[in-house]
Amino acid sequence: MSWAGQFHYDIGNTRRAVASGNTPQFDPSRPTLLCLSHLRWSFVYQRPQHLMSRFARDFNLLFWEEPIACDEPEPWLQVRGEAGGLHVLVPRLPAGCEGEAAVQIQRQLLDGYLAELGVDDLVLWYYTPMSQSFSAHLHPRVIVYDCMDELSAFRGAPPELV
C-alpha cells in the first residue's frame, strides 16, 4: 500500500479517466512502455516524470502507481490521462487487502488492462522491485530496473525490500 498512510486523502477520484482534457491515447502500431513506480505521477516532478514524458513521444506510456485503499468492496483500476497521452494507472484495493491477495488483484487488474488495450509489444521499466510480484509473468521485449533510490533504507520500508 502507499507509504502516505494517514496523510493520504481521496479527493476527486473516480472509476473513470479524470476529465482533465487529456484523453489517454493508445496506438497499436507503437510499442508500449509500462513503468512501475513507487512514486505518484502528480507528486513531485522527478526523474521518472522527466524520462517517461520523453518516452511518451515514441511509446504508448502506461505509468503504474502503488495501490491505494478504497472503501468499496471490489477492487478497480483508476485510469487517468496526462499530457502527452500517458495513462496513469492506480489500483484501488478494498481496505485491508494486503499480502498475496493484493498481489493477485494487481496482477488481474494489470492483465485485464493490457488485454483491453491489445498490448503485444511491451517494455517493462521498474522503479520498485516490489512490482515484480505481480508483473514477473509478463514477457516483455526488454526489462529496465532504474534504481534511483535505495528503497530498503527508507523509514517504514516494507520488509520485502530488505
CA distance linking residue 111 with residue 114, whole number of Å = 5
Q: Return the SS3 of 36.
A: strand
Residue 116 lies in a domain: yes
Residue 4 lies in a domain: no
Query: What CATH number did the domain enclosing 31 receive?
Result: 3.40.50.11010
- Residues 26-81 pLDDT 10s: 999 999 999 999 889 998 888 999 999 999 999 999 999 999 999 999 999 999 99
Residue 66 lies in a domain: yes
Residue 15 lies in a domain: no
CA distance linking residue 87 with residue 138, whole number of Å = 19
Residue 9 lies in a domain: no
Q: Looking at the 3D structure of the chain, how many domains does it have?
A: 1
Give one word for 12, left, alpha or beta, with left for phi > 0 and alpha for psi -120 to 50: left
- Structural domain span for residue 59: 25-161
Residue 16 lies in a domain: no
Rounded to two decimals, the pTM is 0.81
